[in-house]
Amino acid sequence: MLIVAALSEELQAFQGVNAVVTGPGKVQATLGLIRAIAEWTPSEVLVVGTAGNLHQHSPGVYEIGTAIQHDYTSLDAIVGGPVDPPTEITLSTSPFRIATGDSFVSHPAIAEGLSRWADFVDMESYAYAYVAQVMGVPIRILKAVTDNATASAAQDWRTSVAFASRQLWSVVKEAEWTGLRHPLR
């Protein structure tokens, strides 16, 4: 199993566990995960990270069932053929949906718009899901809520990321994920 996060802050509680930090945003997430899969050839990818809350769900860790790319404009009609990646990718039977885009969402109007079709918002999940799908590697995504995607989101994230990392580690440890005791070398 390969453990992946966008930022090292999200892995603070994962002491002694080998993990890949890709960097934030869809481009860095894509490149980082492609490189990691090519180097490590994992049997499964486990993404751990943080997310903005769009529906006032209780604080905690959520398994993402569907990843949606929210900031992409379709080119299919323009070029006259299928060139677009899927708008959304189903990962599991979990009912929780995450909207991924390259902007940190901290504006109430944007959060309200995204809340019509997603529970959470982040900057990497869709990219990880797409890479894993294309490369044929099973993936699970766990997200800890750090903020409510409002004007105080950046400060809320900084204040709560260490706690979110501990929550994520607790869930991963309790689940005894395959390969966690013997991380990739």
pLDDT of residue 178: 46
In the chain, the domains with their CATH numbers are: 2-175 (3.40.50.1580)
Rounded distance, CA 127 to CA 33, Å? 9
Q: Length of the chain in residues, anyone?
A: 185
Q: Whole-number mean pLDDT of the chain?
A: 91
In 3D space, the residue among 170, 175, 70, 168 whose CA is nearest the CA of residue 119 turns out to be 70
pLDDT in tens, 32-78: 999 999 999 999 999 999 999 999 899 899 999 999 999 887 788 78
| Cα angle, residue 96 at apex, residues 145 and 18 outer, rounded to 5° | 60
pLDDT confidence bin for 176, thresholds 50/70/90: low
DSSP, collapsed to helix, strand or coil, labels residue 64 as: coil
183: pLDDT strictly greater than 50:
no
pLDDT of residue 177: 55
pLDDT in tens, 94-140: 999 999 999 889 888 999 999 999 999 999 999 999 999 999 999 99
